């Protein structure tokens, strides 16, 4: 059954986040040969429409307004609901990001429709679209289908492969004028505490430190390894609570949920709350002095040793590999 599917493109610092392209790929599956409509919301974002089309969108609708320069649930919900009213889609896909997690329940409530959140896989089986999502902090998975109404889902970053970019693809980029009014939240200023570099939630490689790093300076070897591998640095709650790093780096049940291709846990014991945030990583490497540490139970590879000896050795070996392959 061919469907029209809306896909929200998420913009950060003037660029589309990678999860936007993953959402387009999911939208293609949901559309089953129908039309995928990209949606861009913000201020001066229309130039990004062509990139959404190159990644698979058939057309893009842009809602621009000075009041949408910074995200607010009131403003964005007015914008997306206006697009939905105009396009009347049978499916809607958001990224399961901080923005998507905040906005999707409000939109679903306004539409009186269900919502499948945090989907990690999507497939067609027995004539139905089957979404897979983790439950019980990643200890189990459930499969869900939509039997009636709009198919509305958010997808976890780094789980659905985006389509190959095709710069020859063309499509219509149109503007929709929406009167944004009655905002209850006004953003006066944005203070960024996250470290520069690769976005932690979308990183393909993450080097994470726990209490075993012992100090703020103990993260320096991890940062060097992350730089060599083109990855991001994360942390357990224990490291954040000890003031070794900012809470913006926290991975776990009360922090960010990540699914990188490679996760290297350094000096992390493996508390269940931390595992909930990273156990679905494709390859997990654990470095810990304690051979009985719980992190080894979920690791694909384990190194029993002092992280301050092991991490610099890994960094040097990866540097050699990069030189030899260049």
| Residue bearing tokens 């780094």 | 158
- Indicate the burial class of 291 (C-beta count within 10 angstroms; 0-12, 13-18, 19 or more): exposed
According to the annotation, is 54 in a ligand binding site? no
User: Do 294 and 271 meet the contact criterion of CB atoms below 8 Å apart?
Assistant: yes
According to the annotation, is 271 in a ligand binding site? yes
User: Do 258 and 284 meet the contact criterion of CB atoms below 8 Å apart?
Assistant: no
| Residue bearing tokens 């058939």 | 58
User: Do 97 and 76 meet the contact criterion of CB atoms below 8 Å apart?
Assistant: no
According to the annotation, is 267 in a ligand binding site? yes
CA torsion 7→109→11→60, rounded to 10°?
30
According to the annotation, is 253 in a ligand binding site? yes
According to the annotation, is 273 in a ligand binding site? yes
According to the annotation, is 272 in a ligand binding site? yes
The token duo for 171 is 């499509």
According to the annotation, is 79 in a ligand binding site? no
SS3 for 234?
strand
According to the annotation, is 96 in a ligand binding site? no
Query: What is the CB neighbour count within 10 angstroms for residue 214?
Result: 16
According to the annotation, is 236 in a ligand binding site? yes
Residues in binding site for FAD = 211, 236-237, 250-254, 267-274, 288
Residues in binding site = 211, 236-237, 250-254, 267-274, 288
């Amino acid at each position: 059954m061919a469907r029209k599917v809306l896909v929200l493109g998420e913009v950060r610092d003037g660029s589309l986040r990678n999860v936007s392209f993953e959402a387009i790929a999911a939208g293609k599956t949901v559309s089953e040969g129908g039309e995928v409509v990209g949606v861009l919301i913000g201020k001066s974002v229309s130039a990004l429409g062509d990139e959404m089309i190159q990644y698979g969108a058939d057309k893009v609708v842009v809602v621009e307004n000075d009041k949408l320069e910074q995200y607010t649930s009131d403003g964005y919900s007015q914008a997306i609901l206006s697009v939905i009213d105009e396009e009347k889609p049978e499916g809607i896909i958001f990224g399961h990001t901080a923005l998507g997690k905040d906005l999707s329940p409000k939109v679903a409530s306004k539409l009186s429709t269900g919502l499948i959140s945090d989907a990690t896989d999507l497939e067609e089986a027995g004539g139905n679209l089957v979404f897979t999502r983790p439950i019980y902090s990643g200890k189990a998975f459930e499969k869900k289908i939509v039997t009636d109404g709009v198919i509305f889902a958010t997808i976890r970053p780094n789980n659905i492969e985006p389509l190959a970019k095709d710069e020859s693809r063309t499509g219509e980029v149109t503007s929709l004028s929406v009167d944004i009014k009655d905002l209850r939240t006004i953003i006066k200023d944005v203070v960024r505490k996250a470290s520069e570099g690769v976005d932690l939630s979308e990183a393909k490689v993450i080097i994470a430190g726990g209490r075993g790093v012992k100090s703020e300076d103990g993260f320096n070897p991890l940062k060097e390894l992350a730089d060599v591998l083109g990855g991001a640095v994360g942390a357990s709650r224990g490291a954040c609570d000890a003031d070794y790093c900012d809470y913006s780096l926290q991975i776990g049940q009360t922090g960010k949920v990540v699914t990188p291709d490679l996760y290297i846990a350094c000096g992390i014991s493996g508390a269940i709350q931390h595992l909930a945030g990273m156990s679905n990583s494709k390859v997990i490497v654990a470095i810990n002095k304690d051979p009985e540490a719980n992190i080894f139970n979920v690791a694909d590879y384990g190194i029993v040793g002092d992280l301050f000896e092991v991490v610099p050795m890994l960094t040097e070996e990866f540097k050699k590999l990069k030189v030899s392959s260049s």
